[in-house]
Amino acid sequence: MPKNKIHFEISERKLMLHLIDVISIVLALYVVGHFFNLEYLKSAVSNAVHLIVLILYLKLIGTVFELYNLQVSSNEFLIGRSAILTVTTTVLAYFLTPIYSPVLPSNRLQIITFLVVVFFALVMWRVFYVRFLASKRFHQNALLICDEEQLTELVSGIETIDPHYKIVGYLSNLKSLSLENSSNAPLKKISLEEIDAFVAKHQITEIVVARQEKENITAELYQQLLKFLKSGKVIREYTQLYESKTQRIPVQHVERDFYLFFPFSRSNQNRLYLTIVRIAEIIISIIGLLVTLLLIPFIFVMNVMANKGSLFYSQERVGKDGAIFRILKFRTMIENAESKNAVFATPNDNRITAFGRFMRKTRIDEFPQFLNILKGEMAVIGPRPERPYFVEEIVKIMPFYATRHIIKPGLTGWAQVNYSYGESIDDSLIKLQYDLYYIKHRSFYLDFNITLKTITTILFYRGQ
């Protein structure tokens, strides 16, 4: 078999980042600690408890500050910012952890040395990753087989998620289409006769077949795909690739036959999972309501000064199984903002007040919804509830949309932490893809991931 070009899958890259972050930091602390005889540094890596606590802090805080986001990890400026925030927060938390971290030394120089060593060990490895492992020499090249009118949408849907995955050419097996390159085609179009040479020249390791009519899969194409499979190439159907790369369900490519590939997560019917989640929701909602009570005087004063009118805002939303309930929020728009028609809010919506914009960015306006969670109308994590009017309009275009109502709507969700505010039907389609992915893969792990990403959203002021 010919020697293939080296590449890394998303999971392999993330595993590499997690593993070598730890190795580089532990190794640096060990070498510096023993070379300069610094007891604090030596204790941090020689004591199992101290080491485990340090690693846990690094992983949790690094996830919050996007240290393991592949887009961030491939940009020197962004990874520098993320490293500074991660290291300073991790080291501060480590210093302030009694019993489970080394006793602070009387010589404060060791504290500064600990911070500097952790920072430079992390940054030096990450700069190497950006300049070498994230370079073009480690990109994964793929060939796409699809209808020509699908091309732009299919390519953009993948490459914007994984910066190291490159579709370098496509083959359209519809005989009615010309084999000449289209003036609008962003990739090289090839014929079946030249596919062998093209795959060898561009070191293609994966062939992606988009769903299309069965009669378009000719016997010649099938034999060619079988030949590639035997030679070690990976053959994947586009919807499988799309879901694994984007962590969204590609409903726009599968029409109405989602039941062929959309088994609901067992967690949706798992009584143990649902009971634990409900207990956690009750505890979280009680704490959230206590915080809300503390916020009310501050928000009331700001409303009197800059946004005269009612403090709270109530609105009908669609919940589990299509049931209608009233959501409660702090008011962020002017009074009677929708006196004419219901419209999507936009990022620069002039109906949103200055203080209301601050509340939206920090998600403070959502705090009263802990009452909805306590009542059982909402969950902490789930698809965001939409208004009945918009649900009716969207369902006419996207029959899939009603599927999101099989679980409770949530205060935060997979769509909210991965996509910006929905201000159109097209945005609703993308958020639906994320919602369906959550329903399909619902688990404690995914819930925990969403929780960390929600913290990231608040810290980086990304709410809308």
pLDDT digits (tens, 9 = 90+) for 232-251: 888 998 888 888 888 888 87
Question: What local confidence, expressed as pLDDT, does residue 396 receive?
Answer: 85
348-353: average pLDDT: 77
Reported as half-sphere exposure (CB side, CA atoms, 13 A), residue 162 has a value of 26
Nearest to 378 by CA among 336, 291, 464, 315: 315
**How many whole angstroms separate alpha carbon 208 and alpha carbon 206?**
6
Tokens linked to 284: 């979280």
Outline where DSSP puts E strands in 358-430: 379-381, 410-412
Q: Which of 390, 399, 383, 377 is nearest to 439 (CA)?
A: 383
Q: What confidence score (pLDDT) does residue 182 get?
A: 42
Helix 271-306 to helix 354-362 angle, to the nearest 10 degrees?
160
Question: What are residue 352's DSSP bridge partners?
Answer: 333
Lowest mean pLDDT across 250-264, 370-384, 392-406, 425-439: 250-264
Contact assessment for residue 353 and residue 306, using Cβ atoms and an 8 Å cutoff: yes
- Bridge-based pairing state of the strands 206-209 and 234-237: parallel
Task: Write 286-295 long-range contacts (CB < 8 A, 24+).
Answer: 286/370, 286/374, 288/367, 288/370, 288/373, 289/370, 289/371, 289/374, 291/367, 292/367, 292/368, 292/370, 295/364, 295/367
Mean pLDDT value across residues 407-415: 95
What is the pLDDT at residue 143? 92
- Is pLDDT larger for residue 151 or for residue 43? 43
- To the question of pTM greater than 0.95 for the whole model, the response is no
Query: Quick count: other Cβ atoms within 10 Å of Cβ 340?
Result: 7
Question: Collapsing DSSP states into helix, strand and coil, what is residue 327?
Answer: strand
Residue 258 has pLDDT above 70, yes or no: no
Q: For the residues 151-170, what does the mean pLDDT come to?
A: 79
In the CATH scheme, what is the code of domain 139-246? 3.40.50.11060
What is the pLDDT averaged over residues 332-353? 69
- Judge contact between 187 and 158, C-beta under 8 A: no
Q: At what angle do helices 39-46 and 109-128 cross, to 10 degrees?
A: 60
Helices (H), 66-188: 70-73, 76-95, 109-128, 151-159
DSSP symbol at 272: H
Structure tokens belonging to residue 217: 């899969």
Look at 363 and 4; give whichever has higher pLDDT.
Answer: 363
Whole-number percent of the chain with pLDDT over 70: 88
> Is residue 456's pLDDT more than 60?
yes
For 97-101, 353-357, 410-414, 432-436, which range has the lowest pLDDT when averaged over its residues? 353-357
Instruction: Tell me the residue type at 428.
Output: S
CA nearest neighbour of 32 among 19, 42, 47: 42
pLDDT at residue 243, rounded to an integer: 86
Distance CA 116, CA 110 (A): 10
Least-confidence region, from 81-85, 104-108, 121-125? 104-108
**Of 22-36, 80-94, 248-262, 406-420, the least confident:** 248-262
Helix (H), strand (E) at residue 17: helix 10-35
Angle at Cα 173 formed by Cα 167 and Cα 176, nearest 5°? 130
- Residue intervals of the chain classified under CATH 3.40.50.11060 are 139-246
Smallest CA-to-CA distance from 176 within 205, 144, 213 is with 213
Interstrand relation of 379-381 and 410-412 (parallel, antiparallel or unpaired): parallel
How far apart, in whole angstroms, are the C-alpha atoms of residue 145 and residue 190?
A: 10
Please answer whether residues 323 and 407 qualify as being in contact, where contact means their C-beta atoms are separated by less than 8 angstroms: no
The token pair that represents 216 in the structure block: 């378009």
Q: What is the mean pLDDT of the chain?
A: 86
32: its two tokens: 């510096």
